[in-house]
Chains A and B, each alone.
Chain A
Amino acid sequence: MNLFRKDWTPAEADEWTIHDTVTVIISPVIYILILVGSALAALLIPAGFAALAVGAVLFVVMVKIINPKLSATSKGYEEKQKEYLEELEKKVKWED
């Protein structure tokens, strides 16, 4: 298991993996650190700056984990989007 894997095929990227699990755990933690960190840092409390720094590091880690997978999902999907758009218009018509 390589958390920082870069070579995803679209089909592989469509599956839920440990990368998604780690991302949805890290992401809210970053938000909490941003909220608490920005308030405490504006009060010049050192813990606030520390929280923001940890948040920044976690953000970089999160991007490295999930961005290659997101790119592969996007790439695979966009190739089919035009066909899907045509089907959408047919599928949601009231007459059907």
Chain B
Amino acid sequence: MATFHFLDWFWLLAFIALMIGSGVRFYRLGKRSESDFFLAGRGLPWWLPASSVYATHTATDTPMWVSGVVYKFGLSGLWYTFYAAWCSISAFVSTKIFRRSLAYTQAEWQSLRFGGLSGELLRGWVAGWQVFLNMFILGWVGIAMGKVCNYLFDWPLWIGLIVFSAACAIYVLASGYWGVVMADFQQGIIAFIVIIIVSFWGVHAAGGPSMIIERLTTMGEAGKLNPFNFTGLFDGDFPVAWFVTMMFIGILGGLGMGTAIDWYPEAQRIQSAKTVKDASWSIWAGSALVIMRNGIWAVAILGFFVLYPDLTEVKDYEMAWFRLGFENLPAGMLGFFFAAIVAIHISTISTHLNLGAVYITRDLYHHYINPKATQAKLVKVGRIGTLILLLGSFVFGSIMENITEWLIFALWIMAAGVWLPGILQVIWWRFNGWGYLSAWVFNLIFSWLVVWVLPAFGVLPHLKDYQQFWLLMLLGAVVFIPVTFLTKPEDMDRLVKFYVMSRPVGWWGPVRREAIRRGLIEGGKK
């Protein structure tokens, strides 16, 4: 348990006041319109969405996740966190396409790309899924904060789960995305500084870099220093097959949309950028910072491993980075560290509160219930949606036990069966709404079966995660490819409009020729 002194409480209260104050300050801008409440009026320079990308993906559960994989696998474990690499390609492919569509959300994009009943079903499906998923993410990030507070102050888990998310909701309710992105900017700076300070302090506590290397070597764990410490082609904890799979998912996923769980918050940041170019660089730079942060964290976790090499329970070693800070920082700095953890926490909470609310408002209420709603009404619904998400997150948070296990499963649900269709919808004109819809529905069924149900009944062995990915991708393709060819292509008028506006890459030959024939684009070589 940590003991806070006056200076610690001062840091904490000052930071919370600063964070809430800086968010609430944009109340007048946020309430102007739906576009302001959810996209900051589409007028942000690249560095604001970039800092929001970084801050959002630095959550309370993130150091636990990184600690878990690095403590167990050493620097090789960093590749588990490399899924952010989809942004390296997306910034120059799908980000541009999505920004040019002007869709508020991925759900809305589905109804631009796909028409008729399948487009509408997809919009409703993606919107509903995103409301659920944002509640779920809020719950797991919230319970991670509950664990930190339990470790620090011996508080019951529900206090950490509820108190800080509720405080964050004040400025999200007041200012919407304006509050989120402005608070994210200062939270991102605070978080980055503190991550560097605490990590280097932790490394120092372990005796410094040379001592960490020496101790790992003495312990027979020098392999943990090698990011490419393969254990064989298919065998062991870090086979080449797993690495290739992670590179494949992580990097090529950037060609599509919705190929990673993080696409959805990024999509909001992409649309809030003032130009296509700003959108591209914001996604690239924000994710580059995320990746650099993971590298710095990893070294601190190796330091922790040297100090505490015998931990076997996930719940013990996933707290590694927090323990380094709380067990080694001097009095007065503890409050600073905890305040930064609060910043890390609420930057993620604020994003998902606002992101879930945009699906409720734009895709469910505005689209299906009240298309003629005034801007004031839409902002009001946005606030009600924010409250619903907050309350739902408390329910989800209270039923989650093991963060890492849930996170891995959620990533599979999102990544495996819909990974390829997420790319095909961007690069292949013939892929239609029914194909994509079938991929979604069957992915949910297949992922539960492959990951949980069939192994529990002994029908299928417990597969390694990379094997699950390939199996789920294959099972999905067996469904969505026949469904696509057995149903009609999308209407050519819709495809031409979409092509001219968004200029997707890949196999769009017939649509491109039609757009040239109609004189909508220049007919250069392709």
Residues on A facing B (Cβ under 8 Å): 11-12, 14-16, 20, 23-24, 27-28, 30-32, 34-40, 42-45, 66-67, 70-71, 73-74, 77-78, 81, 84-85, 88, 91-95
**Main DSSP-derived SS at the B contact region:** helix
Most buried by B among A16, A42, A88: A42
Report chain B residues within 8 Å CB of A91.
112, 497
Q: CA separation between A45 and B101, bound complex, in Å?
A: 45
A24 near B295 with CB under 8 A, answer no
Query: Residues of A contacting B275 with CB < 8 Å?
Result: 74, 77-78
List 13 additional contacts besides A30-B288, A70-B277, A84-B102; criterion CB under 8 Å.
A11-B524, A16-B505, A27-B89, A34-B291, A35-B227, A35-B295, A39-B227, A43-B299, A67-B277, A73-B276, A78-B275, A85-B102, A92-B367
Is there contact, CB below 8 Å, between A70 and B371?
no
Please measure, in the bound complex, the distance between the C-alpha atom of A46 and the C-alpha atom of B294, giving whole angstroms. Answer: 19
Say whether B210 faces chain A, with CB atoms less than 8 Å apart.
yes
The answer to whether B521 and A43 have CB atoms under 8 Å apart is no
User: Which 10 pairs from chain A and chain B are nearest by CB?
Assistant: A38-B295, A39-B295, A42-B299, A74-B277, A27-B88, A28-B88, A74-B275, A44-B209, A74-B276, A70-B277
Q: A15 CA to B504 CA in the complex, in Å?
A: 10
Flag if B96 contacts A35 (CB, 8 Å). Answer: no
Q: Which residues of A contact B212 (CB under 8 A)?
A: 43
The docked-state distance in angstroms from the alpha carbon of A57 to that of B91 is 19
**B277→A35 contact, CB < 8 A:** no
What string of 1s and 0s marks CB contacts (under 8 Å) between B91-114 and chain A? 111001000111100001001100
CA of A66 to CA of B89, assembled, Å: 12
**Minimal Cβ-Cβ distance residue in A for B522:** A11
Is B259 an interface residue, CB under 8 A from the partner?
Answer: no
| Residue B359 is within 8 A (CB to CB) of chain A in the complex | no
Greatest chain A CB density within 10 A among B210, B213, B295, B299 is at B295
- Answer yes or no: B296 CB below 8 A from chain A CBs: yes
B162 within 8 A of A: no
Q: Hey, which chain B residues are within 8 Å of A70, CB to CB?
A: 92, 96, 276-277, 280-281
Number of A-B contacts (CB under 8 A): 127
Question: Do B288 and A39 touch across chains, with their CB atoms under 8 A apart?
Answer: no
Say whether B210 contacts A28, CB under 8 Å. no
With a cutoff of 8 Å between Cβ atoms, the chain A residues found around residue B277 in the complex are 67, 70-71, 73-74
A30, A45, A88, most chain B CB atoms within 10 A: A88
Dominant secondary structure at the A interface: helix
Contact A37–B371 (Cβ < 8 Å): no
Bound-state Cα–Cα, A28 to B337, Å: 32
Question: In the complex the two chains form, what is the Cα distance from A32 to B367 in whole Å?
Answer: 42
Which residues of chain B are within 8 angstroms of A73 by Cβ–Cβ distance? 96, 276-277
Contact indicator B92/A30 (Cβ below 8 Å): no
Tell me whether B85 and A42 are in contact (CB under 8 A). no
Question: Is there contact, CB below 8 Å, between B92 and A20?
Answer: yes
Contacts A36-B295, A43-B209, A93-B371; A31 near B103 (Cβ below 8 A): no
Across the interface, B199 reaches (CB within 8 A) one of A15, A32, A42, A78, namely: A42
B251 within 8 A of A: yes
**B60: min CB distance to chain A, Å:** 22
- Give the size category of B's interface with A: 35 or more
Q: Which residue of A lies closest to B101 (CB)?
A: A88
Given contacts A11-B521, A44-B209, A77-B100, whether A31 and B295 have CB atoms under 8 Å apart is no
Query: How far, in angstroms, from A74 to B92 measured CA to CA in the complex?
Result: 12
B92 touches A24 (CB 8 A): yes
Q: Does B526 reach chain A (CB closer than 8 Å)? A: yes
Please list 16 pairs of residues, one from A and one from B, whose beta carbons are closer than 8 Å in the complex, sorted by A's number.
A20-B92, A24-B88, A27-B91, A31-B84, A34-B288, A35-B295, A36-B295, A38-B292, A40-B75, A43-B302, A44-B209, A45-B213, A73-B276, A73-B277, A81-B102, A92-B108
Per a CB cutoff under 8 Å, which of B276, B284, B291, B292 touches A77? B276
Report if B503 contacts A (CB, 8 A): yes
Q: How far is the CA of A57 from the CA of B208 in the complex (A)?
A: 29
Residue in A11, A30, A36, A88 whose CB lies within 8 Å of B88: A30
Name B100's closest neighbour in chain A (CB-CB).
A77
In the complex, the answer to whether B501 meets A84 with C-beta atoms within 8 Å is yes
Q: What mask results when residues 485 to 526 of chain B are scored 1 for a CB within 8 Å of chain A, else 0?
A: 000000000000100010101000000000000000110101
Check if B78 is an interface residue, CB within 8 A of chain A. yes
On chain B, the residues within 8 Å of A30 by CB distance are: 88, 288
- By the criterion CB–CB under 8 Å, are B371 and A31 in contact? no
Tell me which of B112, B210, B227 contacts A92 (CB under 8 A).
B112
- A15 — nearest CB in chain B belongs to which residue? B524
For residue B298, CB closer than 8 A to chain A, the reply is: yes
How near does chain B come to A90, taking the closest CB pair, in angstroms? Answer: 11
Find chain B residues with CB under 8 A from A43 CB: 209, 212-213, 225, 299, 302
Provide the bound-state CA to CA distance between A20 and B91, in Å.
11
Which of B101, B225, B295 sits near A37, CB closer than 8 Å? B295
Q: Which residue in chain B gives the minimum CB-CB distance to A72?
A: B277
Chain A residues, Cβ within 8 Å of B287: 31
In contact, A28 and B89 (Cβ under 8 angstroms)? yes
Give residues of chain B (450-502) contacting chain A, Cβ–Cβ below 8 Å.
Answer: 497, 501
Q: Are A27 and B295 in contact (CB under 8 A)?
A: no
B227 with A88: CB separation less than 8 A? no
Which chain A residues lie closer than 8 Å to B371 at the CB level? 93-95
